Structure 1
């Protein structure tokens, strides 16, 4: 009997010799991405997963599941906090009821360049503040991910604020509030249903990444892009369950955060390319690009400023994020009051 017991102990010891840095061997992470595999966010999520595997020497392996394969998108944050899924790549706007601070990443005419967004997260405390915001819910904010310029794609020309009055624009969450204060009527339609909604006239336009004019063939159902974009770039996020994250070794936690930040820097460099591809499609498909005058942009910004104060009042962290953004814009010589 003693030999049998010792034999089993030996087997267990051998198994434990192969454990990973968190004490439990290879860590497999189930990540659900809200976007399809071929979408730009999907491709950058794949890049992130590959980079994590490389930086952790295979100790952390991320398996990506695509939209709704594990849970419905609007259930993903709660599912992740409870450990039903391990990680998430996509917009947190779906979860603004849990994390109101995410609306700060979607303040219209905030940053006007991916490099500006990078500076805010890296040098003005935004990354740390967003991590504080999600940590309260059992979720670790790994990194932001840029989705290129995101603004109005319409079936009608926009040259002034008045041109938006009465128009139906597909928008959800924070975007819907922005469209409303600009005088248009927001319409909540799933992303996958936009093409038919534009084609059938259910909506007159959408607020979406400009690159979709080509990738989603919106040039067939819309004929104007309005610049500047409301968000340059739009931001989505990579998140992971806090307990799982903390169960990893310090080395592997740092590796995951590094992979996330490198993914963000990758999108900072790629976002202008995505925009240029969109503008080239516009030229080829006779989609008119309208550049609003500085005076009109100033009018639009003033109309949306009350939203900034509304969002700042949601939480102490939100107030810090908004104050930081206002201070940064002032440094850039941009008048926002």
Structure 2
């Protein structure tokens, strides 16, 4: 009888050993200022989170308990960078185009408009420059977070409640413009108003804005054609606008396996998101037309006049950035040369004028 008891105890040992190494649960708060139907946030919800869960489940050592704060329920677009820095959220879709003061180097595409309209090319060029300018990633760490993925938007145009046939038509008009994109209207007679994507629709509807500077895929996603049915193709270029970041204290607390999974899946998120963004942009203008919008092309001579009318916003930015102890001039020169090497022709040689 004793033998039977000892045998039963021995057979139970593996089960008891397994239970001693139960799956560790890690709590993670992830947030975005934009709603879940926006492309970048949708891919967090529908790809990144379930894919991370799937890969962690393959070993069973760790699982993440996610708390999601989409649509500004935890922090808005203008506050998300600080929310990650302070640990209010662990991981976030950060619209870094609004962080010109804290992330000046990140604004390079916004101060060199009228360049590439190919988002994939723009992102590839930026990755190349990152390898030459380490301060690009260091500036995130100074604010207690690290970059996991980057995303951008395909080609900005003017979306308005009135027709635009020449620069004269911009006189006295108010335009919603994100971050340093406001500089694209300097000297045109239009007044740029700093605003966020989530408020543009109502501002157009109520007449606060006469128009907005908008990327192609955002026009159908947010149905701007309902309140501003005139799309004037200008071609300010594709822009790098957003990063997925994670709080550095949180990162350092994570097991190596979880860090690796987050890194790998974030890389795949970036690749899938750019494909989806380009696809949506290709369909976006046609969707707007199907819903009553009118598309006009700004005459080439007017686009040239618009570009020529601007002060050298890139050189001004570079000088100001240099004064902050960051390599603004080096960033500008490196970016412009890398873009030229990739076959990009700018309306102006921002680094040489």
- Compare 82-91 and 170-179 and name the one that shifted more: 170-179
Contact 2:149 2:243 in 1 (8 A): yes
Q: Does 1:118 align with 2:123?
A: yes
For residue 324 of structure 1, what is the aligned residue in structure 2? 334
The alignment partner of 1:63 has SS state of strand
Deviation per residue, 1:258-279 (Å, 9 max, x gap): 2222222112212232123222
CA–CA separation in structure 2 for the residues paired with 1:83 and 1:304:
40
Pick the aligned partner of 2:93 from 89, 93, 98.
89
> Against the structure 1 CA distance between its residues 154 and 318, is the aligned structure 2 distance closer, same or farther, given a 3 Å change threshold?
same
The alignment partner of 2:79 has SS state of helix
CA–CA separation in structure 2 for the residues paired with 1:296 and 1:249:
56
Shift of 1:304: 4.3
> Against the structure 1 CA distance between its residues 35 and 333, is the aligned structure 2 distance closer, same or farther, given a 3 Å change threshold?
closer
The alignment partner of 1:206 has SS state of strand
For residue 171 of structure 2, what is the aligned residue in structure 1? 165
Shift of 1:33: 0.9
Map 1:161-310 onto structure 2 (within 5 A).
161-304=167-310, 306-310=312-316
Runs of 4+ in 1 over 4 A off after TM superposition: 13-16, 126-129
For residue 39 of structure 1, what is the aligned residue in structure 2? 38
For residue 51 of structure 1, what is the aligned residue in structure 2? 51
CA–CA separation in structure 2 for the residues paired with 1:323 and 1:53:
42
- Report the count of equivalent residues: 320
Shift of 1:185: 0.3
Q: Give the gaps of 5 or more residues in structure 1.
A: 1-12, 20-24
CA–CA separation in structure 2 for the residues paired with 1:16 and 1:134:
39
Deviation per residue, 1:16-53 (Å, 9 max, x gap): 7346xxxxx33222111111012212212222222333
Contact 1:40 1:147 in 2 (8 A): no
Shift of 1:251: 4.1
Contact 1:227 1:289 in 2 (8 A): yes
Q: Does 1:79 align with 2:83?
A: yes
Contact 1:145 1:235 in 2 (8 A): yes
CA–CA separation in structure 1 for the residues paired with 2:127 and 2:254:
24
CA–CA separation in structure 1 for the residues paired with 2:135 and 2:125:
11
- Compare 121-130 and 280-289 and name the one that shifted more: 121-130
| TM value normalised by structure 2 | 0.79
> Against the structure 1 CA distance between its residues 228 and 161, is the aligned structure 2 distance closer, same or farther, given a 3 Å change threshold?
same
For residue 3 of structure 1, what is the aligned residue in structure 2? none
CA–CA separation in structure 1 for the residues paired with 2:44 and 2:277:
15
For residue 99 of structure 1, what is the aligned residue in structure 2? 103
For residue 10 of structure 1, what is the aligned residue in structure 2? none
Contact 1:149 1:271 in 2 (8 A): no
CA–CA separation in structure 2 for the residues paired with 1:247 and 1:267:
28
CA–CA separation in structure 1 for the residues paired with 2:237 and 2:247:
28
CA–CA separation in structure 2 for the residues paired with 1:262 and 1:181:
41
The alignment partner of 2:339 has SS state of helix
Q: Give the gaps of 5 or more residues in structure 2.
A: 1-16
Shift of 1:327: 0.7
Larger Rg, first or second structure (1 or 2): 2
> Against the structure 1 CA distance between its residues 303 and 45, is the aligned structure 2 distance closer, same or farther, given a 3 Å change threshold?
farther
- Compare 153-162 and 272-281 and name the one that shifted more: 153-162
Shift of 1:206: 0.7
> Against the structure 1 CA distance between its residues 253 and 321, is the aligned structure 2 distance closer, same or farther, given a 3 Å change threshold?
farther
Contact 2:32 2:75 in 1 (8 A): no
> Against the structure 1 CA distance between its residues 298 and 255, is the aligned structure 2 distance closer, same or farther, given a 3 Å change threshold?
farther
Pick the aligned partner of 1:154 from 160, 167, 174.
160
For residue 334 of structure 1, what is the aligned residue in structure 2? 345
